[in-house]
Amino acid sequence: MKVLWVCNTVPLPAIAEDVGVAMPVVGGWMTGLATQLRRHSEIDLAVCFPVVGIRELVAGQVDGLDYYAFPAAGRVPFLDVVDELSTSPTLSRAVARILELAKPDLLHVFGTEYAHSLVAARAFGRPERTLVNIQGLTSVIARHFLGSLPPRAVHRWAPSNLVRGDLAQQKRRLEKRGRLELQTLRAAGHLLGRTTWDRALSAQLNPEAEYHYCAPALRDSFYERSWDPATCEPGSILFVQGSNPLKGLYYLIEALAEILRTHPEAHVYVVGNDPTASRPLFQRLKQSSYGSYLAQLIRTHGVQHDVTFLGPLSEEQMRDQMLRSHVFVSASTIENESNALCEARLLGVPSVASFVGGVTSVVRHERDGFAYQHDAPYMLAHYVGELLDRPDLCEEFSRKSRAAAHELHDREAIGDRQADIYRTVLAGQRGAMR
């Protein structure tokens, strides 16, 4: 069977090198899934993905894997903004050519909110052989985008608002993506998810589609090591993606002030670009209204010396930073399933997570981690303090979360399950939902 993946980013390092673009720091889990699928000799896998900066379709092959890079929408200089909703004739022609070259029996679309996903699903024209992989659901996520942010944050002015808009305008853009997403979901006869949350929403958003369950494979290096309390930095708290309001860094900053009152050694490390940076001048021009609000919040709580932004990290750097951390925190206002949280659990890093979305299918409160009401930073502070105070609890959570994560994210089992789903779709049979 010929399976074509439609991806949002370059999916494999070897392909990125062949195309001559940098491998994104996200999406590395796809490498492991591709490796496992290639154990099944009847599956002939090909991949396609958008690349900013190219003007025509680029086709190639790496290690027997066909790939197709098509032109992505243009990027606004200095602001890292891409028009991801454009269903241009250029995109339609590129996708049509890819389908002509690849001749897939089955289309597997990763992600639902970008124009190329909808264009590919419609151009393929066979919903009974189209499988859409649900990563997040933008149409629902948009409802939670502003969380508990005060009006002064939602409507705060920053120079980048001229392109990005304030947070209220960004929410409206997410809602527009959500309308595009709904069309993509309804162009597919099969949906692939991984949590109770996305299963429930799949049934509501496209009740005609068949839902298939498959846990996600994670990045290879996170299977190889385990957290050791003797080598972590006492009081260190790790957080990922501080520039996205959905991830809830503002909640952790509020909690940090309380954590420091009883644990002065505590320090928050944030993986990803620093949204608060305002020097030199071009950084100030790039700073978002949310980044400006975070900077003010950090000053208000007097934690300027207790928060460090680490910048983007490679897979190995992320793994090593997790292993150095005392506690991992996920404070999202909504989340299908945080890959970063799952990777932390796979390593056995003691974790505290907001009890939202698909996280309810992952963390077992007080058994292998702590879960708390997302808009209650005082409870986040309490649970982080519990872990900083209790080495015995950290070790218990570490052992149990690691065991649970290794069972859930078993790569061979996931590869076999994914291959079975492909066979079920092509055979036109009804598959077991979970």
Q: What is the pLDDT of residues 18-61, one digit of tens each?
A: 998 887 766 677 888 988 998 999 999 999 999 988 888 999 99
Between the alpha carbon of residue 413 and those of residues 63, 217, 416, the distances in Å are 23, 9, 5
Between the alpha carbon of residue 352 and those of residues 155, 330, 374, 380, the distances in Å are 30, 6, 11, 7
In the predicted structure, residue 433 carries a pLDDT above the cut 50? no
**In terms of pLDDT, which residue wins out, 22 or 303?**
303
% of the chain at pLDDT higher than 90: 79
- The pLDDT value recorded for residue 122 is 95
- How many angstroms separate the CA atoms of 362 and 62, rounded? 35
First to last CA, the chain: 24
The residue among 57, 41, 44, 36 whose CA lies nearest residue 2 is 44
| Torsional sign, CA 182, 183, 186, 187 | negative
- The pLDDT value recorded for residue 27 is 64
In the predicted structure, residue 412 carries a pLDDT above the cut 70? yes
- How many angstroms separate the CA atoms of 322 and 228, rounded? 11
Assign 227 a pLDDT band (cuts: 50, 70, 90): very high
- The pLDDT value recorded for residue 144 is 96
Q: What is the mean pLDDT of residues 176-181?
A: 91
Assign 429 a pLDDT band (cuts: 50, 70, 90): low
Domains in the chain, start-ordered, CATH in brackets?
2-217+410-427 (3.40.50.2000), 221-408 (3.40.50.2000)
- The pLDDT value recorded for residue 86 is 59
The residue among 119, 137, 115, 110 whose CA lies nearest residue 203 is 137
In the predicted structure, residue 350 carries a pLDDT above the cut 60? yes
- How many angstroms separate the CA atoms of 193 and 198, rounded? 6
> From the CA atom positions of the chain, what is the Rg in Å?
22
Assign 72 a pLDDT band (cuts: 50, 70, 90): confident
- The pLDDT value recorded for residue 78 is 42
Full-model pTM:
0.92
- The pLDDT value recorded for residue 58 is 93
**In terms of pLDDT, which residue wins out, 122 or 88?**
122
In the predicted structure, residue 82 carries a pLDDT above the cut 50? no
> For all residues of the chain together, what is the average pLDDT?
92
In the predicted structure, residue 171 carries a pLDDT above the cut 90? yes
- The pLDDT value recorded for residue 79 is 40
Assign 111 a pLDDT band (cuts: 50, 70, 90): confident
- The pLDDT value recorded for residue 80 is 44
